[in-house]
A and B are shown apart, each in its own frame.
Chain A
Amino acid sequence: MTVTAVPNVAEAVETTPESHLHPAASFDLADHPVPNGREEVWRFTPMRRLRGVFDDTPSQAHLDWHTTLPEGVVVREITTEEAIALGVPAPVDRPSALAVARAGGAMLVEVPAGLEVTEPVVVELVGTDAGTQVYGQVVFSIGAHARATIVLRHKGSTRYVSSVSVLVGEGANLAFVGLQDWADDTVHVGHVGMKIGRDARVRTVTASLGGSLVRLVETTEYDGPGGELEQFGLYFVDEGQHIEHRLFVDHNEPHTRSRVDYRGALQGEGAHSVWVGDVLIRAVAEGINTYETNKNLLLTDGCRADSVPNLEIETGEIEGAGHSSTTGRFDDEQLFYLRSRGIPEDEARRLVVHGFFADIIRRIGVPEVETRLLAAVEKELEVIVGPSAESATDTAEAAS
């Protein structure tokens, strides 16, 4: 990295996707005016619930940090300038630009080059007050040919405006799990920017369970040819919750791969999920392969899932590109099949929902997290499966 001064860096690393779907990324706050909610990227978001997030409310508050670090993994504080000099992806919107500008420096978690750790690196960030706005910048740097599993877990109550960068060195192998396990009153708006080095392999799992409003922009760019991304996500959206994941995979290097699979279950009045999956295949990105899919299960009336896959292709010299999106209720045929083997209706529903998510959860590879997520699936099911099956039986008996 040769650039050091902030303004120059901002110029130098600024990327301008041709995509009309993404505003230009920039460290400069002036490039990110306060949105009015009619912009393409903000139109799904309930702006009124984001008071204070856009208007640069000053705050020195931080989340509580708890880390579990395998030997050789280092955490230290760095300045904003140092973070930018590391080559972190530039902020994509006003909140993430504010996070970088106002966090007062970043926490850097470093897995040195060549280090292979089997135990997961766990970073737990805990909010303590839903009334306090917190700006936070976290940078994960995985050295060349290193191998690691990282769990970034958010808990508690807060209003969190965040920038997370994941820099993956060449030939490295990373599993990255991001958990939004917030309390019900939390608002979290952030950007997770990933840069994947030459021939590196990255598997991510984003799980958003809690929070009143969670809006994450997850971007991926490649820092050399041959990089591979597998990106999984799951979310449970309950009454009144807004959970939004906006993904952007920028195939800016040849022979790179991306696979995206996000799944959500919604229940309750006003439960709203948004999934936007943008893929840009640049003219230089020959021989790439990409596939994106999003599936939503609507468990009750009154919930809404927006699902928008977009594919922009600037070269035809590719191996493959596709996407799919499905949103629906329980599959009657699946329920019929299971029930025709004697399995009661509530148990059949349980199996179907469980299976829907287990497909993704079993890829995480961190037993403690898998257990936590499976328990969360069970908890979601209690609400719809237990009582509703009971009342159905009652009705049937009353009718007969």
Chain B
Amino acid sequence: MSELRISDLRVEVETESGPKEILKGVNLTVRSGEVHAIMGPNGSGKSTLAYSIAGHPKYTITGGSVTLDGTELSTLTVDERARAGLFLAMQYPIEVPGVSVANFLRTAKTALSGEAPKVRTWVKDVNAALERVGLDGSFGARSLNEGFSGGEKKRNEIAQLELLNPKFAILDETDSGLDIDALRIVSEGVNRYTSQGDRGLLLITHYTRILNYIKPDFVHVFVDGHVVEEGGVELADRLEIEGYDRFVRAAKVDA
């Protein structure tokens, strides 16, 4: 049993007018086997949460903690966090010219498991993972994300999720910009990952649409840098009907 525990997490970002606090005390615990959805309006700090857990240099943790099985993540480098079992599927995956998908995946797998994967089975595994998300074998030889469509980039993220199989995955708006077919394919990949039973998932999304395919155990409403309401899947249904207005207005009153 693994546990990703976020306690009173406070995060700042540097802006032109000085540091600005984006996360204002986030509390959230994800255990292996659980699917958590974080839902919130644009600008509420959802992506900041994802990136600061992963260790993006743009964000500074000023208070609180994030631990993975007791290890404080903020003391680890970006790659050490990944090797500790964390994975972030990005909203805008980065293009890396001249680095092939296959080479990238082999390097990542080697770094994560401490030994190079067996050549014979690995090539097969990579092609199978790409094909499961609807990317044909030619993608292995292509430069990482370069010239990929938005949908292809997201599929590639999910292929990585399945191949690298981390303990905990954070999906940052993986559903945004996907057409209905791509959304279904991506969701199926995520469900294959969670169906192993001992993986934890933090699904960050703006829309309830993806929750038709991925069933969360817990839903957290995220407004103004912290969780304002928690519940089960029924909370998502309410959001579908009512929108975020009620929470946004409440947050303004508090402020």
Contacts and interface: CB of A to CB of B under 8 A. Distances in A.
Contacts of B79: 339-345, 348
24 contacts: A332-B57, A336-B78, A336-B94, A337-B93, A337-B96, A339-B78, A340-B55, A340-B82, A341-B79, A341-B82, A341-B87, A344-B79, A344-B111, A345-B78, A351-B103, A351-B107, A352-B96, A355-B96, A355-B97, A355-B143, A356-B98, A359-B97, A359-B98, A359-B143
A295 to B, nearest CB: 9
B99 A354 contact: yes
Contacts of B108: 338, 341-343
B104 A342 contact: no
Given A336-B57, A338-B104, A352 B99 contact: yes
Interface of B: 54-57, 75, 77-79, 81-83, 87-88, 90, 93-99, 103-104, 107-108, 111-112, 143, 160, 164
Interface in A305-339: 331-334, 336-339
A341 B97 contact: no
A369 interface: no
Given A332-B57, A342-B164, A352-B99, A337 B94 contact: yes
Contacts of B112: 341-342
A358 interface: yes
B85 to A, nearest CB: 10
A343 B93 contact: no
A333 B94 contact: yes
Contacts of B93: 337
A340 B78 contact: yes
Contacts of B54: 336, 340
Q: Identify the 5 closest CB pairs spanning chains A and B, nearest first.
A: A355-B98, A342-B82, A355-B99, A341-B108, A337-B94
Contacts of B94: 331, 333-334, 336-337
Contacts of A341: 79, 82, 87, 104, 108, 111-112, 160, 164
Contacts of B103: 351
Contacts of A354: 98-99
Contacts of B88: 340
Contacts of B164: 341-342
A345 B94 CA distance: 16
Contact of A339 (B75, B77, B90, B143): B77
A337 B103 CA distance: 14
A336 B164 CA distance: 17
A347 interface: yes
A355 B83 CA distance: 23
B160 A358 contact: no
Nearest to B98: A355
Choose among A333, A338, A344 the residue with the greatest number of B CB atoms under 10 Å from its CB.
A338
B99 A347 contact: no
A232 interface: no
A342 B112 CA distance: 6
A333 B78 CA distance: 12
Interface hub of B98, B112, B143 (most chain A Cβ within 10 A): B98
Contacts of B55: 336, 340
A347 B108 CA distance: 10
Contacts of B77: 339, 345
Given A332-B57, A342-B164, A347-B107, 7 more contacts: A336-B55, A338-B99, A340-B54, A340-B82, A342-B82, A351-B96, A351-B103
A351 to B, nearest CB: 5
A176 interface: no
Contacts of A340: 54-55, 78-79, 81-82, 87-88, 90
A343 B97 contact: no
Contacts of B143: 355, 359
Contact of A356 (B75, B81, B87, B97): B97
B114 to A, nearest CB: 10
Interface string A345-371: 101100110111111000000000000
